[in-house]
Amino acid sequence: MELVYGAGLQINPVENVAIDVTYEHTKLSFEHTTLKNIKVGTWMLGVGYRF
């Protein structure tokens, strides 16, 4: 069984601006190679402006 998860947060410091922070994690497995059980974690940061 493989497990994938993610969590995120979005805040609005001022009325027209949004800031996002997200983390995602997964584990990859490849049967016919030497690449087995690779763990991948990714942080993402986003900023948006509403006109």
Cα–Cα distance between 12 and 32 in angstroms, integer? 47
- pLDDT, residue 11, reads 97
Please state the domain count of the chain.
1
pLDDT in tens, 1-51: 678 999 999 999 999 999 999 999 998 877 777 777 788 999 999 999 999
* The overall pTM is greater than 0.85: no
The alpha carbon torsion through 49, 9, 4, 45 (nearest 10 deg) reads: 40
Pull the structure tokens for residue 18: 């949004």
What's the domain range around 25? 5-49
Pull the structure tokens for residue 15: 């009325």
